[in-house]
Amino acid sequence: GEDVEQSLFLSVREGDSSVINCTYTDSSSTYLYWYKQEPGAGLQLLTYIFSNMDMKQDQRLTVLLNKKDKHLSLRIADTQTGDSAIYFCAEYDTGRRALTFGSGTRLQVQP
């Protein structure tokens, strides 16, 4: 089956940049997503990228996609304490017509 992998934990200082990495296995993925989950809440879509793009920028967020290595990253510039959350990478599985999520990366921002 398809697999999406992320590191489990990242700690940064307020004001620094955060980079969360993700690898996936489905080479036919057409969409790749980043979701954010704050404590006690559901997931919220942060941003997404089409597989024919290699970069997407949205304010403090930059998504980089390396299709050859099947590597996706999310960079958060000027990280704030409010960015502390779990970040999930997800790919759209064309076969199952469903999202496959990674295990999530817990981002801790220290003041």
Partner 1 sequence: EAQVTQNPRYLITVTGKKLTVTCSQNMNHEYMSWYRQDPGLGLRQIYYSMNVEVTDKGDVPEGYKVSRKEKRNFPLILESPSPNQTSLYFCASSLGSTTEAFFGQGTRLTVV
Distance between CA atoms of 43 and 90, rounded to whole angstroms? Answer: 12
Tokens for 26, please give them: 């489905």
- List Cβ neighbours of 59 (8 Å cut-off, separation of 6 or more): none
Minimum distance of partner 1 from residue 104's CB (angstroms): 6
Binding residue (CB under 8 A) for partner 1 from 20, 43, 49, 65: 43
Q: Give the binding range for partner 1 (CB under 8 A) out of 10-18, 57-65, 76-84, 92-100.
A: 92-100
- Cβ burial of 8 (10 Å; 0-12, 13-18, 19+) is exposed
27 binds partner 1 (CB under 8 A): no
| Number of residues forming the site for partner 1 (CB under 8 A) | 22
At 86, the amino acid letter reads I
30 binds partner 1 (CB under 8 A): yes
98 binds partner 1 (CB under 8 A): yes
51 binds partner 1 (CB under 8 A): no
